[in-house]
């Protein structure tokens, strides 16, 4: 029998997690095509960097307008590719457009020269772009993740090349098309269907001046190490295991609504989702009872159906990994207060689940559960809640619920994390910087901080200042000393 050439594995495959049907597949581009795209991006940068803020804003704002006009179309593509419920998908498209519009409006103010006051003369700090920025982005927010790198970095005068997640290729193409329709010059925003090996190679490329990644801790360590070896700046957002603290004086009905939303928004597949529920003992039983009832009431269904309250996970591998985590946690002593199993129906659906009695020696105590699984802890008091909230390898976000806002501020200041919310988990505002510490990564996106990650902060000092006296008093004479 003659040997057959094996079919190359698809790196980019669009599969509907609601029914498991493959929608479209794409193969990585060739090395020659990658070189052509990189060259085009570099050429674009040489002109884009000199555009005024108003000229850049005209294109970025137009892309925002197009997102709003195409909201339903873009949302449907997202729902089909990764299972986000349609109303949540529409909300993501709107927020993504808001981010682009926010930077189109505010970039010039954020990057304006900052006057300094030296003892002699005058000085300022000015900002200038670095060049081509390579971005690696995840599937859980297919447009929002792209908008929060495109808005600030394009307005700063950089250009970007993006490797999006392999399961949302149609979203990746749709976002790139927005820029073409907005009038962006060739090379300004480039989607890349590339392999992991090609991704490594592009980080090594001298034309790439910075690297931004949102993804797993393992991916972050790998890409950050490669960027560091090339002495290139990078920003990393690597997930979280956010604490949801409920103190004894909390408004429980209010807290429960946020608890359900905080754990189940995007089917729990959110880096800054509420994942560890830390409740003071005196209200723990009541909270757990209401929390369990709220999660159990969610009904699985087609995420395109407006009445569905529980959509599928993003993919079959994601579901299997989460089930494996739950089984491992239980095998090591944790108890299931709710769920823990796959839902018996087509698609990648999992029961909303609650794990209790998760001890520090259980690997689950340190893990991130990226899906509809909540970890529930009882604590004695406020100090114990803060200690447990901070006892995590991650440090992205967190929240505290109390009727006393002064107390809430105190708790928020003491928890070791990148973001804290008092009586809410409302992070969806372009004005609010987003990022964390520890294994959650470094750097910030959004707000005025987000545009500062990949710019040169140059000091310029003015003044005719006398040079210091020389070390020796030798006076040259006819070229000789």
Spatial CB neighbours of 411, under 8 Å, sequence gap ≥ 6: 245, 247, 382, 385, 386, 400, 402, 420, 422
Return the SS3 of 287. helix
Single out the catalytic residue among 176, 237, 367, 382: 237
65-77 burial, b at 16+ Cβ within 10 Å, e below that, comes to ebbeebbeebbeb
Dihedral angle sign, alpha carbons of residues 141, 145, 148, 151: negative
CB 132 within 8 A of CB 160: yes
Cα–Cα distance, 147 to 145 (Å, whole number) = 6
Can you tell me which residue has the tokens 């195409």?
70
- Phi/psi for 455 (5° steps) reads -130, 150
Catalytic residue, from 271, 368, 445, 453: name it. Answer: 271
For residues 311 and 179, give the distance between their C-alpha atoms in angstroms, rounded to a whole number: 30
Task: Confirm if 187 and 176 have CB atoms less than 8 A apart.
Answer: no
Q: Does 271 qualify as catalytic in the annotation?
A: yes
267 is catalytic: no
Grouping H, G, I as helix, E, B as strand and the rest as coil, residue 162 is strand
Active site residues per annotation: 237, 271
């Amino acid at each position: 029998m003659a040997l057959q050439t094996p079919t190359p594995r698809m790196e980019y495959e669009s599969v509907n997690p609601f029914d498991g049907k493959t929608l479209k597949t794409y193969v990585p581009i060739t090395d020659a095509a990658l070189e052509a795209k990189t060259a085009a991006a570099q050429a674009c940068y040489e002109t884009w960097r000199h555009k005024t803020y108003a000229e850049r804003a005209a294109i970025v704002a137009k892309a925002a307008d197009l997102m709003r006009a195409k909201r339903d179309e873009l949302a449907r593509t997202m729902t089909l590719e990764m299972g986000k419920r349609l109303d949540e998908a529409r909300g993501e498209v709107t927020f993504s457009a808001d981010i682009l519009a926010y930077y189109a409006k505010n970039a010039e103010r954020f990057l304006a020269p900052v006057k300094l006051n030296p003892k002699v003369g005058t000085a300022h700090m000015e900002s200038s772009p670095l060049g081509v920025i390579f971005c690696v982005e995840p599937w859980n927010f297919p447009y929002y993740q792209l908008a929060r790198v495109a808005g600030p970095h394009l307005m700063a005068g950089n250009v970007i090349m993006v490797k999006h997640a392999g399961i949302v290729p149609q979203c990746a193409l749709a976002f790139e098309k927005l820029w073409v329709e907005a009038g962006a010059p060739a090379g300004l925003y480039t989607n890349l269907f590339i392999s992991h090996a090609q991704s490594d190679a592009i980080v090594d490329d001298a034309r790439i001046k910075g690297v931004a990644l949102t993804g797993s801790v393992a991916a972050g360590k790998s890409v950050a190490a490669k960027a560091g070896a090339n002495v290139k700046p990078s920003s990393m957002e690597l997930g979280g295991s956010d604490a949801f603290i409920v103190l004894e004086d909390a408004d429980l009905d209010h807290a429960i609504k946020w608890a359900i939303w905080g754990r189940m928004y995007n089917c729990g597949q959110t880096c800054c989702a509420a994942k560890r529920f830390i409740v003071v003992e005196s209200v723990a039983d009541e909270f757990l009872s209401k929390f369990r009832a709220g999660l159990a009431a969610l009904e699985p269904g087609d995420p395109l159906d407006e009445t569905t309250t529980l959509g599928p996970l993003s993919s079959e591998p994601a579901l299997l990994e989460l089930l494996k985590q739950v089984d491992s946690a239980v095998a090591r002593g944790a108890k299931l207060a709710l769920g823990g199993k796959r839902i018996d129906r087509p698609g990648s659906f999992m029961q909303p689940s609650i794990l209790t009695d998760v001890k520090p020696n259980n690997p689950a105590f340190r893990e991130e559960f990226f899906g509809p699984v909540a970890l529930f802890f009882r604590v004695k008091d406020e100090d114990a809640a803060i200690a447990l909230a901070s006892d995590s390898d991650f440090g992205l976000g967190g929240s505290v619920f109390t009727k006393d806002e002064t107390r809430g501020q105190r708790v928020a200041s003491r928890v070791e994390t990148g973001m804290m919310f008092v009586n809410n988990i409302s992070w969806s505002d372009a004005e609010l910087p987003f990022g964390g510490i520890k294994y959650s990564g470094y750097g910030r996106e959004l707000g005025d901080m987000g545009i500062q990650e990949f710019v040169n902060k140059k000091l310029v000092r003015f003044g005719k200042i006398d040079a210091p006296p020389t070390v020796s008093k030798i006076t040259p004479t006819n070229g000789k000393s």
